[in-house]
Structure 1
Amino acid sequence: MPASSIRWPLRPRGRLTRPRRTRLALSLGAAATAMGLLGACGGGGSHPANVVATGQAPSYYPADYSQVIEASKREGGTLAIYSNTDQENWAPIFRDFRRKYPWITKISANNLDSDEVFQRVLSEQATNGSPADVLVSNAAQGWAEFAAKKGTVMEYRSPEADKLPDFATLLPNVYTMSVDPLGIAYNSSMLPKEPTGIQDLADMVAGDQGKYRNKITTRDVDGAFGFTVSHAFTTARPGSWASLQRILPLARPETSSGTQLEKIISGEYYAGFFISAAPAYPMIANSGGLLKLAFPKDGTVVLPRGIGINAKAPHPATAKLFTDFVLSEEGQRALAEGGLTSYREGVESREDRRTYQELVRQVGAGNLVFVKYTHVADDQVKAFVSRWNGLLGQ
């Protein structure tokens, strides 16, 4: 199947240069470096280490799961992941997965754009096959289109499925790895106060348009991620267009949360909205209080990060072990330590672990906007993008 069959239908308009995200292979050495960086972010030293049962599956797994473990031992200790997840987020997960299954010594994880994960696999499958074992992305539209194609996602029911909430299954054979909220990131030296929501931010910037012109950033809706989160918010909160009509004329779009966060820290932007908490948490910890993140009380978007196994995975047993691990309580603790948001009951919220339960307590379940993994028709996409971009300042 050609990659063009899932290509995002809209192309950037040329306002900004679309940066290519750095491709990162996390070998053992690179993972160790990432863990050192993560440790420098603070938090972990004063807390007990995550407890992992080496070589043992949980007691509620089926008896024949031992066959999956033994099959993994014969696969050469290798796992390849295609994802849009940063190294700081992966580091504790890889650390504890290798502790649990010590024969797995080579884990590679590239860092692609959210929808490029699927384009890459489709392109490779159309030629000599893809080396990817596991796919991880929060591109809801991309997952919906990819999983609908025959022979793309392996049929696999995780033994963890019965222990998880309904939203843990996003699509057949596609599970929720984490539920990452999006918030308003801001430079605390540039804003007079913490914005409590999108309407509050609109009130703040509209009161002094000269000061805030080109000082607010949002995600480019010409890309899959930006469209997904912005469309989900306005669909759930149609009244928010009144606030967006005041914010967007002062805003500039970017294609990467990392770029947005760096520019907010530098003061090039004062604030940005619909910014993922996953890359923000490590940068907040290192900013000395300069970078802060607020979750809107008038609607916090929650974007599930999907995980599935390539139907033609070169290392299928190891891919199953990894999928089950990140859904387990052990894996969810490691995941939360790396800045992703765990949703499994039993994972303790603390300074270095972010959980869905903590988010609910902070903003209220009724104020959360969950992104659904459903396909949006092309005409609806174009209408939304046209309306959004028509409001942006030039």
Structure 2
Amino acid sequence: MPASSIRWPLRPGGRLARPRRTRLALSLGAAVSAMGLLAACGGGEAQPANVVATGQAPSYYPADYGQVIEASRREGGTLNIYSNTDQENWAPIFRDFRRKYPWVTKISANNLDSDEVFQRVLSEQATSGSPADVLVSNAAQGWAEFAAKAGALMPYKSPEVEKLPDFATLLPNVHTMSIDPLGVAYNSSLLPKEPTSIQALADLVAGDQGKYRNKITTRDVDGAFGFSVSHAFTAARPGAWTSLQRILPLARPETSSGTQLEKIISGEYHAGFFISAAPAYPMIENSGGLLKLAFPKDGTVVLPRGIGMNAKAPHPATAKLFTDFVLSEEGQRAVAEGGLTSYREGVEAREDRHTYQDLVRQVGAGNLVFVKYARVPGDQVKAFVSRWNGLLGH
């Protein structure tokens, strides 16, 4: 099966995976939430400390960048984002972007499944054209396939790239908005000790298989997210199959980190691995110490969240302003405030803000496994999925 034919992840009835929340409510409420937020950030408020200068680009931007700003002023103050990112993550980003560019008064951001971001745009482009300006998703395979299509992405290299690490550029015209580390989430009342590694989790559950049978959860590798993170881990740590052979027979797959976390809190699962930190952080904060997250010291998977622009974006200048903003130091502070993990130097880690630098201090740079934005050949996908699913308990 050629890589270009892979379509992730279909379920019975043709439904895409990752039902993290009620999609209808999010889709209908996204624009309302953004508009209510922007209206609340009216012109009478004091300038926040993390916004450098209203309506102005940093001094290191190209001399003609002012033309982009002026073009944005003429675009009607609208920005449409297709993403798989929750509204609480977006809130501080929209707030600070609006304060910097106050003429952008209408921001909408839906919450789609990770691959649905691309499928929606392609479907719309094939008919009357897509209203999407900016695309945000952490579907590595989806991005690789979409970026390979001629005329899909607006050619753009952000002036912020020179200030950022190499992994800020994932593909031509695709930048890193945030990094999403994945860990072992567990119910602290049900697990006797913190699983500091995948091997430690394997040692723990294998010691009492009856107790942990069907009490461990992992991501469904038939889906884009589950495949990408699980495949990246085993490709970087092939010896980890020994641990996985002990864990997977006791595990049940799920299609959503949100669902996994809810079931861990309720006690249906004792623990889960390859759980995204982005939805975990707010649930940990509200769990009263019941839910905890450990980053494995034998390999913490890091999934970049990509941002790119529709080649036929209706508001191209505003899309460029937004892309550059989220990569800037001020934008990355807002990224961290919203619960995602920022990666730019200069963003201070706090209890409510998470950074790549803090993650490195916790587990070490050599223990991080980055998911690459590259297409995996179809025969390799099939072989991996078959091996993984063959180990799962039934």
Q: Distance in 2 between matches of 1:127 and 1:383?
A: 36
Q: Once the 2 structures are TM-superposed, how far is the Cα of residue 13 of structure 1 from its aligned partner?
A: 8.0
Q: Distance in 1 between matches of 2:240 and 2:4?
A: 33
- How many residue pairs end up in the alignment? 378
2:195 counterpart of 1:195: yes
2:51 touches 2:99 (CA, 8 Å); kept in 1? Answer: no
1:169-228 Cα shifts (integer Å, max 9, x gaps): 110010011111000011111100110010000111111111111111111000000000
- 1:229 is aligned to 229
1:93-130 Cα shifts (integer Å, max 9, x gaps): 11111111111111111111111111111111111111
Q: Once the 2 structures are TM-superposed, how far is the Cα of residue 263 of structure 1 from its aligned partner?
A: 0.9
Q: Distance in 2 between matches of 1:19 and 1:175?
A: 23
Q: Distance in 2 between matches of 1:27 and 1:276?
A: 22
- 1:8 is aligned to 7
TM alignment of 1:233-252, pairs within 5 A: 233-252=233-252
Match of 1:183, SS?
strand
AA in 2 matched with 1:205 = V
Q: Distance in 2 between matches of 1:270 and 1:304?
A: 27
TM alignment of 1:329-344, pairs within 5 A: 329-344=329-344
- 2:143 is aligned to 143
Structure 1 gaps, min length 5:
36-47
AA in 2 matched with 1:136 = V
AA in 1 matched with 2:98 = R
Q: Distance in 2 between matches of 1:384 and 1:247?
A: 16
AA in 2 matched with 1:294 = A
- 1:39 is aligned to none
Q: Once the 2 structures are TM-superposed, how far is the Cα of residue 5 of structure 1 from its aligned partner?
A: 6.4
TM alignment of 1:88-107, pairs within 5 A: 88-107=88-107
1:135 touches 1:310 (CA, 8 Å); kept in 2? Answer: yes
Q: Once the 2 structures are TM-superposed, how far is the Cα of residue 50 of structure 1 from its aligned partner?
A: 3.3
Q: Distance in 2 between matches of 1:315 and 1:142?
A: 23
Between the two proteins, what is the percent identity of the paired residues? 84
Relative distance call for 1:201 and 1:123 in structure 2 (3 A) is: same
Instruction: Report the aligned-residue RMSD.
Output: 2.1
Match of 1:272, SS?
strand
Q: Once the 2 structures are TM-superposed, how far is the Cα of residue 12 of structure 1 from its aligned partner?
A: 4.6
Q: Once the 2 structures are TM-superposed, how far is the Cα of residue 9 of structure 1 from its aligned partner?
A: 5.9
Q: Distance in 1 between matches of 2:19 and 2:337?
A: 27
53-62 or 19-28, which moves further after superposition? 19-28
Q: Once the 2 structures are TM-superposed, how far is the Cα of residue 387 of structure 1 from its aligned partner?
A: 0.4
Q: Distance in 2 between matches of 1:193 and 1:33?
A: 44
- 1:304 is aligned to 304
Q: Distance in 1 between matches of 2:107 and 2:270?
A: 38
TM alignment of 1:1-394, pairs within 5 A: 8=7, 11-12=10-11, 18=17, 20-21=19-20, 22-23=23-24, 24-25=26-27, 29-31=32-34, 50-394=50-394
Structure 2 gaps, min length 5:
39-47
Match of 1:336, SS?
helix
Q: Once the 2 structures are TM-superposed, how far is the Cα of residue 63 of structure 1 from its aligned partner?
A: 1.8
Relative distance call for 1:151 and 1:18 in structure 2 (3 A) is: closer
Q: Once the 2 structures are TM-superposed, how far is the Cα of residue 31 of structure 1 from its aligned partner?
A: 3.8
Q: Distance in 1 between matches of 2:16 and 2:313?
A: 34
- 2:43 is aligned to none
1:34 touches 1:91 (CA, 8 Å); kept in 2? Answer: yes
